[in-house]
Amino acid sequence: MAQVTKLGNTLLLDRVTGKPIFPFRLRRAPTSKLPGEQTWPYQPDLELSEPFVRQTFNLDEVTDIGPENRESVLKQLQGVNFGWFEPFEAYRPTVFFGIHGGAEWTGAAFDPSTGWLYVSANELPWIITVFPHLKPLIRNPDEPPTAGELVYQQHCGKCHGLQREGLQTAPHLLALDKRTDDEDVIRLLETGRNLMPANPLLTSQQRKDVVDFIFDRDRPEPKYQLQERGERPSYLFNGYPRLLDHEGYPGCKPPWGTLNAINLNSGKIAWKVPLGDAYVAFALPNP
């Protein structure tokens, strides 16, 4: 039995016993820095079958399609974590491949006459940040909402939650001032990013007001409830943002999509070719 993964591995198993056909080793993995989280000390490190995508992001993988594109990605990588099975660290972004694939919904196709497996794959970096799960205080109902809160309730609360707690469709905005600044949020409201559309209806004053509300600058109450002593730590994250350059292209070197032929008799990659259309995949304007 062959199983392809989003990490870019091909697991070749005995269909009766479930044991791997090719040997593998256990490799020491980094230790989590998140309070309350304990990571397993070892992770499997497969040599065969050969991985069909890049599995670890590093500075050598930063895009080289143009000097401005590369510089825009390098600016986002200041102070980030990356590496093999690198665990998350609170408030510090981690960059890695694998969320979108490796292998994706299309899976793979097998040719029994040759023993070759054909896999279409993606190679896109993602930049994810984890934060402590803070509990927002509800505004005193005897006090009127601020101008920024009114704007937030009308334009932002449906996706991000009325208490900024985050919903399934969008990440939470608690402690956003620890992750970004006014300029970045205002630019995001003006231009949109990833799944969030631009909001051209807001005036410049409304954008400033809503940033003051999100950053807890427009009211004197304490920002968050403290976690009870002895309570198990819990965390939130900022959704699934891709690491993109200033033009919206992936932040790693091409190819960003490939078609791979894997010889399952040897576990080796027989051939690999670029595959895909960036303008369709990333909804970019035609040049």
**pLDDT tens-digit series, residues 112-135:** 999 999 999 999 999 998 887 766
Q: Where are the domains of the chain?
A: 2-130+239-281, 134-226
pLDDT score, position 240: 83
CATH hierarchy code of domain 134-226: 1.10.760.10
Positive or negative torsion for Cα 213, 183, 167, 95: negative
Report which of 198, 219, 197, 201 is spatially closest to residue 148, judged by C-alpha positions.
219
For the chain, the 3-state helix, strand and coil shares in percent, each to the nearest 5, are: 20, 25, 55
pLDDT of residue 96: 96
The model's confidence at residue 224, banded by pLDDT at 50, 70 and 90, is: low
63 versus 188: which is more confidently predicted? Answer: 63
pLDDT of 126 reads 95
pLDDT tens digits for 48-103?
A: 999 999 999 999 999 999 999 999 999 999 999 999 999 999 889 999 999 988 99
pLDDT above 70 coverage of the chain, percent = 89
Binned at pLDDT 50, 70 and 90, residue 13 comes out as: very high
- Could you give the CA distance from residue 81 to residue 86 in angstroms, rounded to a whole number? 7
